[in-house]
């Protein structure tokens, strides 16, 4: 029973609650005045979604993990993309053939946010799209959400993390953050020292970046050896990957802000080219 608990993909929350709140708080701080109005107006439409129009943006970014188990069961696969271990690149036609991966979740959210909402149903859908986008951009930057099919993004790789039983996916969701003392909101000032303004809106490139981080960092220990079941991970793995986690949290926040700024100004945002086989 314990092994099943540790490896169940349904128990994984990308970045944990603190990580998702950090990402969306960074994004919120980087919004243009136009985008602040845009986000606030759409957030108010949550009255038609779940009767919670006053929820803060960082908190709203947690909603997708609850929604995938309740009203939006079909959104479960939108939190990740899996690639066969013997493949070296992401191919959306192959890896998202059923149009049920994170690329679809992001693309759909962007389209809904780019479209005027008239009816209560459309407003509710748009409010959901804002929450989904904030969450999915966070998921995309967690490398183990862009990882191997065979091990369910590291969920099936049991490890010892600083002597405690865990799995590789959970180490990246929350383990590294906890050991690095990164939390919301206390770490916000530290993480917002990155003032990068040159953000290229290339969401597909961000996806490929996370994929390479999963292959080169997530699945390999500090010596470059492949991580297998039962491996113990601690200080060396932490020191190798703490800078990656910090960078990914920062990038996710800044890039989410860039998308929302563009949407608020009616600038086109193209994420992925998707088509069914």
Within a domain: residue 87?
yes
Question: 85 φ, ψ to 5°?
Answer: -60, -25
Within a domain: residue 249?
yes
Q: What is the structure's pLDDT at 275?
A: 64
Q: What is the structure's pLDDT at 236?
A: 98
> Which domain range does residue 46 map to?
2-264
Distance spanning both ends of the chain, measured CA to CA:
39
Q: What is the pLDDT of residues 106-150, one digit of tens each?
A: 999 999 999 999 999 999 999 999 999 999 999 999 999 999 999
Check the CA dihedral 34-36-37-39 and report its sign: positive
Model pTM score: 0.93
Within a domain: residue 48?
yes
34 Cβ contact partners less than 8 Å away, ≥ 6 residues apart: 261, 264, 265
Percent composition of the chain: helix, strand, coil (DSSP 3-state, to 5): 55, 5, 35
Within a domain: residue 49?
yes
Q: What is the chain's mean pLDDT, rounded?
A: 92
Class of residue 100 by CB neighbours under 10 A (exposed 0-12, middle 13-18, buried 19+): middle
* Strands across the sheet containing 232-233: 164-167, 158-161, 232-233
Within a domain: residue 271?
no
Within a domain: residue 269?
no
Within a domain: residue 104?
yes
Q: What is the structure's pLDDT at 4?
A: 34
Q: What is the structure's pLDDT at 229?
A: 97
Within a domain: residue 272?
no
Q: What is the CATH number of the domain that holds 23?
A: 1.10.575.10
Percent of the chain with pLDDT over 70: 92
Between 239 and 14, the higher pLDDT residue: 239
Q: What is the structure's pLDDT at 196?
A: 60
Q: What is the pLDDT of residues 193-216, one digit of tens each?
A: 866 656 889 999 999 999 999 999
As given in the structure block, the two tokens for residue 261 are 């700024």
From the list 6, 8, 13, 5, the residue with the least C-alpha distance to 174 is 13
pLDDT at 89 over 70: yes
Q: What is the pLDDT of residues 35-75, one digit of tens each?
A: 999 999 999 999 999 999 999 999 999 999 999 999 999 99
pLDDT at 274 over 90: no
**Structural domain total, the chain:** 1
As given in the structure block, the two tokens for residue 137 are 């951009």
């Amino acid at each position: 029973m314990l092994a099943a608990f540790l490896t169940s993909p349904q128990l994984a929350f990308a970045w944990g609650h603190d990580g998702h709140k950090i990402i969306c708080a960074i994004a919120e701080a980087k919004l243009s005045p136009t985008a602040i109005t845009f986000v606030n107006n759409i957030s108010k439409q949550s009255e038609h979604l779940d009767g919670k129009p006053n929820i803060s943006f960082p908190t709203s970014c947690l909603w997708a993990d609850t929604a995938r188990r309740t009203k939006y069961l079909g959104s479960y696969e939108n939190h990740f993309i899996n690639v066969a271990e013997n493949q070296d690149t992401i191919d959306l036609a192959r890896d998202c053939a059923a149009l049920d991966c994170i690329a679809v979740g992001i693309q759909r959210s962007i389209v809904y946010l780019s479209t005027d909402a008239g009816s209560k149903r459309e407003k509710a859908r748009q409010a959901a799209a804002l929450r989904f986008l904030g969450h999915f951009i966070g998921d995309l930057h967690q490398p183990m959400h862009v990882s191997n099919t065979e091990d369910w993004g590291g969920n099936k790789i049991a490890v010892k993390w600083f002597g405690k039983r865990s799995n590789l996916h959970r180490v990246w969701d929350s383990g590294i953050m906890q050991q690095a003392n990164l939390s919301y909101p206390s770490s916000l000032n530290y993480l917002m020292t990155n003032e990068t303004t040159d953000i290229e809106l290339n969401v597909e490139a961000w996806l490929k970046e996370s994929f390479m981080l999963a292959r080169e960092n997530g699945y390999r220990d500090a010596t470059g050896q492949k991580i297998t079941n039962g491996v113990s991970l601690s200080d060396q793995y932490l020191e190798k990957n703490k800078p990656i986690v910090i960078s990914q949290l920062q990038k996710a926040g800044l890039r989410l802000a860039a998308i929302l700024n563009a949407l608020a100004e009616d600038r086109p945002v193209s994420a992925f080219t998707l088509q069914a086989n």
